[in-house]
Structure formats: C-alpha cells, structure tokens
Structure 1
Amino acid sequence: MQALITAEPNLAVVTDVPLPEPQAGEILVRVHAVALNPVDALCVAHPLDENFGRVVGSDFTGTVAKLGQGVKNWAIGDRVAACSINPRPGGFAEYAVLEEDLAFRIPDGVSFEEAATVLLCSLTAARALFIRLGLPSPFPTTAEFYANYPVKPTRTPTILIYSASTSVGLFVLSVLQSMITADPSFKINVIAIGSSNNHAKFVSLGAHHSFDYRDFEWQKKVLVATDGQGIDYAIDCLSEGERTAQISRVFGTGDNPDGIFGTQRTIYGVVWTGLGHDVVYDNGHVLESPPAHRQQAVDFKFLSAGSPCDKSKLPIEPNPVRLMPGGLAEVAKNGFELPGSDLVNERMKSFRSESYMKPIFAEKLVYSFLFEVRYYILTAIVR
C-alpha cells in the first residue's frame, strides 16, 4: 500500500509499505480522511526516534476493513475515527491498524473530514479541563494518576483560554459547552483570547468575553471583566515566549498579597500517555500510562454515544475544515509548510498565493482520500 513515511535526512516521502495485519484486539481501517496536526510536521523535522520509516499522521478516519482476533465491538464497514503516535504507524496511508478501544464510532450526521479533526486536540482539551484542572466532567473520570487537584474557588470560577482559535482552544470551548449541557447547574465564566476575526466563533461556543491577543491592554480588560477579581483557571494553548507570564498576571490574588506568583501552579501534560505505548520525543521518553489508557477509552465511548440532543452529531463541535487538495505526495509539499516545525511566531512568515495556503485561523487542515477516489472515478467517466 502507499504511505507517507519518515526518511533521512528528516524528510517525509511516499512509498510502498506492507499492508498491516491486525493482531488480537486490533482493527484494520481503510483510511478516508486525515487531519494535519503541527506535531506531524514536528515528527518529520525532529523525528521521534532514529528509526526512520514510520507512517506519519496522528488523526484519521475511515471504515473498518478487517478485525483482529477477539474483537467484538466493531464490524466490517463501521465508520471509525482514531489517532496514533510513535511507535504506532500513523494515518497518512491507505490502511492503518489500531487498538479497538482507542477509536470512536462516527455518528451518521458527521463526515469523515469533520471527525478527523477531533481526537488528538479534543483529548488534550479534556485532559486539561477534567484531569489537570479537576473540573466536573460530562463523562466518568478517574483521578488515580493525578493525586492533587488545584484548590477549588469558592465563587463562580472564571477560566481563560489563551490562543482560543487554535484547534485545542476551540475544543476547550466546545468541551466546556458539553459540561454545561450535561449539568446545567454548573456555572463557569469563560474568557477567550484570540484574533478579533474569530470572536463571533468564540461567542457561539459559549465565551462570555473575547479579547484580541494583539491588544496591549487585554490583561487590564480581563481584570475589568472579572470586577477586579481575576481568573481562577487558565489553559495556554501555545505556551511560548512570555505568554505564561502574561497570563499569570490576571489571576486572582486570593489571600496572598504577592499575587498569583505566590500561589500559581503551572501544570504540563502529554496526551500521548493514554495511547497505549511509550513515546520517544525530543531526546525524552514519555512513559505509557495504563490509567490514562483506561481514561482515554472512556473518552472514546463518550464521543461514540453522540450528542444527547441529536445522536447523529458528536457531543462536541468538530473544528471547521479546510479541505486540502492532492494526495499523499502533497502533504509534505504543502501541508507541512503551513503549521511548520518551529515556534508559532516563526511559522511561514511569507504566505503563498493559493487559497488553500492562506494562514490558518480557527480551522483544521484535512486531506480526503475518499474525495480523491471519487474525483478520479468521475474523471474516468467523463473521458
């Protein structure tokens, strides 16, 4: 089968690789759509390990083509969404293999392309909100691998989402909406920081206030919006440069006269720990976590169940899709150029003229291989 794989020297190339065979507890998926994540380009420019030849691609969707021994919850032809990370093969290929419990069933009203935007970033959002910050979850959660939750505020809390127009930021807003849908008694004030072009989108996802990150007075405006009390929680979707320090200045001081710098706790995490395998990245070793794996499986069941208001839709809103043209060969040529492999401020400072190569704002880049097949069939008929 054709696949996009890592190759020396830090490149991605299309080549033929063996068709994977599902083992016990695994399913083989015929890939229809793949969403591009910044980590995909990073894993090519800065390989996860020295073993070149890994299939690239984190988030993908398709149909079940074959079942491994003992698989009972899936059937041939089921529509499925999944994500993968080193050392597992990724999704930029004709077929991909994955564990049966690390995928969700795509509701009938959701396209392959929409579903492809969901997993890696929505899982990151859910992990940040429910495990790291300890907010009430719309689905069962376990605290067995995080012993100390942050202290709960005594008033209606305020959460700030920095870089809310990123994929993770949009999912944080959407997941917060799902919390309120699941428990209308839960109250939280939401402040989104991002480009003013996307403020209407933030409001549609439940933000009470939106401020432009380029506004030199956004910190002052946050304090005004909170009646001088400041925020209680924050999720920084970029964590670059001075942003963490800037965010820290809008926290409430509580009983500490020195402000948040005396009480703030910055928490970092990697969603990969729940995907069932150790990950080698940037000369570090991220250990697989069985408790995180179990939690991830619960998250997938939540997504498979559909929206409580409409089972044909997901319980959270997918990212807007920018459908990218071309096949596997175009991913490294065009797709990787947009997210880049450096800090956000250094990414693609000079943009190309093609409409699909414009800067990324509040959307996800998706390649549709199902669309390619249809296109070539239609071309053949016309000829």
Structure 2
Amino acid sequence: MAARMQGLVIAPNKTAVVADIAVPEPAHNEIRVKVHSVALNMVDALYTQYPLGELGRVVGSDISGVVDKIGAGVTEWRVGDRVAGLLQGATSVTPRPGGFAEYAILEQDLAIHVPAGVSFDEAATVPLCALTAAQALFIRLEIPAPFPSAYTFAPPAIDAPTILVYSAATSLGLYTVELASLLRTPSGKSYRIFATASPKHHAKLLALGAEAVFDYRSPTWVEDVRKASGGISYAVDCISENESTAVISQTFVESGGKIAVIRSTGWDKEGVREGVTPLYGAVWQGLGHELIYNNATLPASPSWRAFSVAFYKFLSAGSAKDSSRFPISPNPVRLMPGGLAEIVSDAFVLIGTFKVVDRPVEATAHGDKEWMKPVSGEKLVYRV
C-alpha cells in the first residue's frame, strides 16, 4: 500500500480541509521534502475561496524543510539537506500541487539551500515574495541584477537612480527594499530608495536601506516624495489596489518610467500619468511551466525560469558578510499555533480574500487572541 500523509486540499463550498492523501514520489530531477514550516500568502486564501481547476488539490506556496528522498538525476542535493521552495499550490487551472502537506516535491534547481543561521520558520517566508520582488526589479523594471541573471540590461542613464517602494512594510515590500539596497551604479553609487508605510514601520525600513519613508496616509506624501527625491525613476506598487498605481505615477520624473504592479486587475488604470507604464507579471512564470491563469494561457518561459534558478542560487550562497545567513533578511515571523488544520480558520481569516486596504485594523477585529491581531509587517507561519 502507498504511504499516506496529511495535506490541506481544496474542498467543496469554497474552503480547504485536511485530508489523508498519498505521499508524492519524486520524479527525474526532483526532490521530496519533509515539510517543517509553511508561510501564508494572500493567493493561498484567494484561490481557496475562488478555486481554479479540480478539487482535491493541495494548496500552499511557501515551504521549508529537509530533503527526504531524491529522484533520478538529482546531483545537487542529499537526504538531510535543509531547503526552502515555491510551489504553485492550486493557484491556476493547471493541475500543479502545493506544499501545505507533510511532504512536497521541488525541482532540484529551484530549491533554495537554507543556511545554518536561518530557521525553517524564517526560510519559509522567502521563496514567493522574494522572487516576486526580484522579478519586479530585475525583469519588469529592467534594472541590472546584483547577481548573474538570464536578463542583461543597460545601466540607468543617471548616476543616482531613484526607486519608490509603495507599501514597503508588506512581505513583498520588505524584500524589494532589501534587494534594492544591494544595487550600485557603474560608478559605485547606491540607488536612492524611497518608501511608504505606516509610521510604526519607518525605523525598520530606514535600517534596511531606505533614504526616506513617508506615511501613505499623509495628504502631502506625493509632493513630499517628489521634493525629497527630485522625481522617481522606478517604482514597485506592492499592493496595486484602487488608486495606488495612479497616485504613484505622480511621483515620477518628467520623462516618466515604469511601475511594477503585482495584480493584473484591482488597480485603477485611469489616472496613471502619461509616460508612466504599469507592468504586471505572474510570479508563477518563474517556475517555467505553461499556466492557465487569469483567463489566459501563459506559455512556459525558459528565460523566466532561468532567472529563478539564478536568483535562488544567489540566495543559497548566503550573504557575502555572513554565509550562515541569506543575503537578504527573511520576513519577521508570526508563528501561528496549531498546524495544517488551523490555517483556514485562523490564517485565511487574517489574510482575507479582499483588498489589503479593506482589511480591518482594530486590534480585536478577529477576537482577543494574541495570534489573531491584524497582520502588519510580518509573515504568518505554521509548523507542519
């Protein structure tokens, strides 16, 4: 009889349940991971509430754990290695399984080595949002990457490029600021990073490399950014909701530029300043498989996949200053109690399937339990 495991799977009535399912077997160039920790992303909740494809598929994108078994052709990993990775858990019509289960499968060149100084809980926060940030900066915005990349772009024409990270205290925003802080112009100058966030996060973002941080609730933040920066050259809109992209476009230099957005819809296209171009891309393209997603078929992209491999190798190598850590800091972790069975009742409630701007912010909006306070500047993590 085939071995069995517990996994969180898409169920009828727009929910997910823990079910007894078969343990997957690694195919050629694949590794099986004994999952230790999983991190939550909004897409996990969204496509459980609005399922695509068949029911019964394992949900979940971000995992970390230990290599449990290797498939034929695997040369990069051994049983017992600590890894993290990204799976496309039931987020498209394409039937690819996720990682919220006791065991999961990764392609060997898309697994991330977890350095000794990084916990499994921290490592689980990295794969999806760090790759999204890298794609935004080093593919869509065409900024030369600080690591060997499948994409080669000319350096900026100006010697002090400016980058705006909107909603920088989000998981994506934190990684975007960190990656942008590694950038240097051909003359060796740092890129100038500007950010928006709630005041309670300003000190952290300044410490991560932002030159200045602005309260997005301030009626003068656009004018304040323009005054401080002289005009923005590049921007990443880390929520891409309602008027956010249009407002960001007003901070740009006169010649315009590009904004990386993280949603294909949900943000107002009217009001985007002429000469400023919003650019969307699905992080899943980085896995290199054809997708049926957002009512369209996205062909497999070898170049996006090659970029993912290069970026994950960059992370795996560790920091030049301390090889026991990643070159960028993992997100702050809120370790949630319970395991797979509590994800739907607790984490999905906190993350919601609605826009970030519509999330309740009252401390007791979801009850008085400490772990159910509104999410801000941290990643929800469960141990399996």
TM-score, length of structure 2 as denominator length = 0.89
Matches of 1:210 and 1:95 in 2, distance apart? 41
Matches of 1:150 and 1:352 in 2, distance apart? 52
Question: Does the CA-based 8 Å contact 2:181-2:208 persist in structure 1?
Answer: yes
Please tell me whether residue 46 in structure 1 is matched to residue 47 in structure 2: no
1:89-135 per-residue CA deviation (whole Å, 9 max, x = no partner) reads: 21110000121111111000000000000010000111111111122
Task: Tell me which residue corresponds to 1:355.
Answer: 370
Over the residues paired in the alignment, what is the CA RMSD in angstroms?
A: 2.1
Question: Does the CA-based 8 Å contact 2:183-2:191 persist in structure 1?
Answer: no
Task: Tell me which residue corresponds to 1:111.
Answer: 119
Matches of 1:255 and 1:54 in 2, distance apart? 43
Matches of 1:285 and 1:325 in 2, distance apart? 38
Percent pairwise identity: 49
1:236-255 alignment, distance < 5 Å: 236-254=237-255
Question: Does the CA-based 8 Å contact 2:334-2:371 persist in structure 1?
Answer: yes
* The one of 301, 308, 333 aligned to 1:296: 308
Please tell me whether residue 73 in structure 1 is matched to residue 85 in structure 2: no
List runs of 5+ in structure 2 lacking aligned partners: 258-270
Task: Tell me which residue corresponds to 1:367.
Answer: 382
1:26-105 alignment, distance < 5 Å: 26-49=30-53, 51-85=54-88, 86=90, 87-105=95-113
Matches of 1:250 and 1:89 in 2, distance apart? 41
How much does 1:178 deviate?
2.9
Query: Aligned AA for 1:196?
Result: P
* The one of 14, 21, 24 aligned to 1:20: 24
Query: Aligned AA for 1:251?
Result: F
Matches of 2:234 and 2:150 in 1, distance apart? 20
Higher percent of residues as helix: 1
RCO higher in 1 or 2 (8 Å CA, sep ≥ 6)? 1
Question: Does the CA-based 8 Å contact 2:58-2:99 persist in structure 1?
Answer: yes
How much does 1:283 deviate?
2.9
CA 1:109 to 1:183, structure 2 compared with 1: closer, same or farther past 3 Å?
farther
Please tell me whether residue 128 in structure 1 is matched to residue 132 in structure 2: no
Task: Tell me which residue corresponds to 1:163.
Answer: 167
Matches of 1:126 and 1:368 in 2, distance apart? 27
* The one of 167, 173, 176 aligned to 2:177: 173
Matches of 1:162 and 1:84 in 2, distance apart? 26
SS in structure 2 at match of 1:101 = helix
Task: Tell me which residue corresponds to 2:265.
Answer: none
Task: Tell me which residue corresponds to 1:328.
Answer: 340
Query: Aligned AA for 2:144?
Result: P
Task: Tell me which residue corresponds to 1:224.
Answer: 227
How much does 1:46 deviate?
1.3
List runs of 5+ in structure 1 lacking aligned partners: 370-383
SS in structure 2 at match of 1:330 = helix
Matches of 2:31 and 2:293 in 1, distance apart? 26
SS in structure 1 at match of 2:277 = coil
SS in structure 1 at match of 2:138 = helix
1:340-369 per-residue CA deviation (whole Å, 9 max, x = no partner) reads: 111123334633211111111111000023
CA 1:183 to 1:3, structure 2 compared with 1: closer, same or farther past 3 Å?
farther
How much does 1:74 deviate?
0.4
Task: Tell me which residue corresponds to 1:319.
Answer: 331
Question: Does the CA-based 8 Å contact 2:143-2:155 persist in structure 1?
Answer: no
Task: Tell me which residue corresponds to 2:262.
Answer: none
Question: Does the CA-based 8 Å contact 1:251-1:260 persist in structure 2?
Answer: no
SS in structure 2 at match of 1:265 = strand
Question: Number of paired residues?
Answer: 359
* The one of 1, 4, 11 aligned to 2:15: 11
TM-score, length of structure 1 as denominator length = 0.89
SS in structure 1 at match of 2:181 = helix
